[in-house]
Amino acid sequence: METATFGAGCFWGVEAAFRAVAGVKNTSVGYLGGTLENPTYHDVCGGQTGHAEVVQVEFDPAQVSYADLLEVFWQTHNPTTLNRQGADFGSQYRSAIFFHSAEQEAIARQSKAAQTPRGLFKRPVVTEITPASTFYPAEEYHQQYLEKRGRTSCHV
């Protein structure tokens, strides 16, 4: 098993997208990239901790590649809006790839560089690519939030 971690705005819909991918064995939503130890949702939403809302993905690389997960990442949010996804704004909603190995970093950087030539986005991609730090799981009620409510996306 390998681990991948992505920030792409509100973690509820992003988690649901990754859970639908064959080869993804587990997901957990939480907070990463900030300075406060053991932050709560309230702390992170205040925008002062530096954390991003993220989805940590456990996957079987024999079934799905990291590059394939990056494709899901690019398709689930707008990577051209700095610290904003839809109505959600603040650094906690930033577009971010948190790599767990040098190989993941190289693949992520190559994937990001390929987005502009593909022409999918009219503006520059602002996704940050940084080393993964301590992951703090979000409160239980956030885990698989949409599934618990019989929904597949954040949009009604």
Cβ contact 17:72 at 8 Å:
yes
pLDDT value at position 117?
Answer: 80
pTM: 0.91
Q: Which parts of the chain sit beneath pLDDT 70? A: 145-146, 150-156
pLDDT value at position 152?
Answer: 56
CA 82 – CA 79 distance, rounded (Å): 8
CA 126 – CA 135 distance, rounded (Å): 22
pLDDT value at position 156?
Answer: 38
Tell me the pLDDT tens digit for each residue of 51-71: 999 999 999 999 999 999 999
Domain region containing 97: 2-148
Q: Is residue 154 a part of any domain in this protein?
A: no
Q: Is residue 153 a part of any domain in this protein?
A: no
pLDDT value at position 38?
Answer: 96
Which residue in this structure is represented by tokens 């939030």?
145
Q: Which of 4, 8, 10, 70 is catalytic?
A: 10
Is 10 annotated in the active site?
yes
Amino acid at 141: Y
Mapping DSSP to helix (H, G, I), strand (E, B) and coil, where does residue 85 land?
strand
Which residue in this structure is represented by tokens 């704004």?
89
Please provide the distance, in angstroms rounded to a whole number, between the alpha carbons at the two ends of the chain: 34
Report the number of distinct structural domains present in the chain.
1
Amino acid at 33: G
Closest Cα to residue 84, out of 119, 136, 123, 111? 123
Q: Identify the burial level of 97 via C-beta atoms within 10 angstroms of its C-beta, where 0-12 means exposed, 13-18 middle and 19 or more buried.
A: buried
CATH number at residue 102: 3.30.1060.10
